[in-house]
Structure 1
Amino acid sequence: MAGETAPRKGRGGRPPASRAGDVEARLLAAATRLFLERGYDGTSCDQVALDAGAGKASIYARYANKAALFAAVIDRLLTRSFAQDEMESGTDLAARLAAVGMRVLADTLHPDALALLRLVVTELPRFADTDMRPAQLFWQAGVQRVAAAIALQAPETVGQASDAAEQFIELVLMPPLMRALLGEPVALLLAAAPPRIEAAIASLAASGALERWT
């Protein structure tokens, strides 16, 4: 109608600070979906931005290239898992290790994590000549989670707990992970995990690797 003012279109550009986290979450969710559906080569930063409803500037302001975006997708998956490791400070060491061992294993054998790991393995040559090591992110995250559980009552020693944590991850995570990547049913691997975890804890205790924290 005459005399009415047409509604103003919203301005583009950088979102306000209050929405920056929302944009990043949408970008990473879209990137995760596209990497899993289309693979690394079939995914582009421009398509991720489009699917996330964000401008191209938003994605390139956060991630220098597709490799950096891929690493961020993996880091997001692992960071969400890390946030679930809250433990009571009074829990004894064996119970903490049993709990975190099952969580790390279940998180790593989750379908999305396994799909990303398979993609990482496929793309290893692509990152050989760069500082990016996506496969190491999974290993390092598991070690950090276990080290934090070991040193829960003495956080200042978490760095010193890394050796024991690496041994624990090697014993508890790596064999079932390799079998899962080869197609063995995850439910069976998880069902068989408690005795493996118990044996790993006993082995570390017998070797003296946990003596400082017991």
Structure 2
Amino acid sequence: MTEDRKLHRRPAGGRPPKQRAEEAGTRILETATHLFASRGFAGTSVEQVASACGAGKDTIYRRFPSKVALFEAVVEHVRDRALDRLNGLAPVDGDALKQLKALLRAYLSINMEPDLVALKRIAFSEAVVFAKSSAASSGSDPFMERLVEAVRAAQADGFLRTGDAPSMASHLIHSLVSLPTTNAMLGGSDYDSPEALDAHFAVIWLWMTEGVIAR
């Protein structure tokens, strides 16, 4: 019996076919995430993903017509997982500036997740392969949308100067994540520990809120 028939046949007392198909899709994506992150894009084949997750190669190709399509689905899967983590954050007590600070610290941790770092490294190293799909993938970014909202709230309460909130949010997050993520993508371990990230965040937050010019 083929994998597809297994996915759509419902045994007595078993899970509905749709649920089992979704579980199979998640299993494929989780397996592909691990393989891409550990072996890179060139070092991972659809056949390896099929073997590791116990699915038929034809089943994977029906869902994802190419390895590039599979990788793009993996990136989206990891982003959705990060968004679930963000949405699950406990509410922060305090004013708009404290809430912005907590959100930025959470974004820093999310951006340093090993799977996300590994996928970014692949996307940069395989820029030619993904150039076409990257150019076509434009749309809303729930992470930035939430950050812009937090910046606007802090502006409205007088904690931040007025101005273009999206641009300010972009500069804030770039200032925080560019150094540690670049270090990690190049194989460094300077920011592997929560303590190192805390120290980095404390310095950058101080510079962002108080400036670097002696007064």
TM-score (norm 2): 0.70
Asked whether the 8 Å contact 2:92–2:102 carries over to 1, the reply is no
Q: Does 1:193 align with 2:201?
A: yes
Deviation, 1:79, is 1.7
**C-alpha distance in structure 1 between counterparts of 2:182 and 2:26, whole Å:** 30
In the TM superposition, what are the counterparts of 1:77-88 in structure 2 within 5 Å?
77-86=78-87, 88=91
Taking the aligned partners of 2:176 and 2:137, their CA distance within structure 1 comes to 17
Question: Matches of 2:105 and 2:3 in 1, distance apart?
Answer: 48
Aligned-CA RMSD value? 3.4
Q: Does the 8 Å contact 2:36/2:44 carry over to 1?
A: yes
Q: Deviations over 1:70-119 (max 9, x none)?
A: 12212222221222224538753212221121111112122222222222
Name the CA distance, whole Å, in 2 between partners of 1:89 and 1:64. 43
* Structure 1, unaligned runs of 5 or more: 1-8, 154-159, 204-214
Counterpart of 2:37, as a letter, is L
After superposition, residues 129-144 of structure 1 pair within 5 angstroms as: 130-132=132-134, 142-144=143-145
Does the CA-based 8 Å contact 2:34-2:115 persist in structure 1? no
**Map of 1:156 onto structure 2:** none
Distance 2:41 2:47 in 1: 13
1:201–1:50 Cα change, 3 Å: farther
2:169 pairs, out of 165, 168, 175, with: 165
How much has 1:44 moved relative to structure 2?
1.9
**What is the 5 A alignment of 1:174-193?**
174-182=178-186, 183-186=188-191, 187=193, 188-193=196-201
- Equivalent residue number for residue 125 of structure 1: 128
Matches of 1:164 and 1:105 in 2, distance apart?
16
Q: Distance in 1 between matches of 2:119 and 2:136?
A: 10
Q: Distance in 1 between matches of 2:137 and 2:201?
A: 22
- TM-aligned CA distance change 1:195 to 1:93, over 3 Å: farther
Distance 1:132 1:47 in 2: 25
The change in CA–CA distance for 1:124 and 1:49 in structure 2 (over 3 A counts) is same
Query: Following the alignment from structure 1 to structure 2, what is the Cα–Cα distance between the partners of residues 75 and 148?
Result: 23
Output the TM-score relative to the length of structure 1: 0.70
String of CA shifts for 1:47-69, please: whole Å, max 9, x gaps. Answer: 31232222334322332321121
Change (3 A) 1:179 1:142: farther
Task: Report the number of matched residues.
Answer: 186
Match of 1:185, SS state, is coil
Aligned to 1:76: 77
- Cα separation, 1, equivalents of 2:137 and 2:120: 7
Describe the SS at the equivalent of 1:64: coil
How far did 1:165 drift?
2.2
Deviates more, 1:186-195 or 1:84-93: 84-93
Counterparts of residues 105-124 of structure 1 (less than 5 Å): 105-124=108-127
Question: What is the CA–CA distance in structure 1 between the aligned matches of 2:61 and 2:145, rounded to whole Å?
Answer: 29
User: Kindly tell me: are residues 134 and 121 of structure 1, through their superposed partners in 2, closer, same or farther at Cα, counting changes over 3 Å?
Assistant: farther
Cα distance between partner residues in 2 of 1:92 and 1:64: 48
8 Å CA contact 2:64–2:70 kept in 1: the answer is yes
How far, CA to CA, are the matches of 1:170 and 1:11 in structure 2? 44
Identical aligned residues as a percent: 29
Paired AA for residue 180 in structure 1: A
Distance 1:53 1:88 in 2: 40
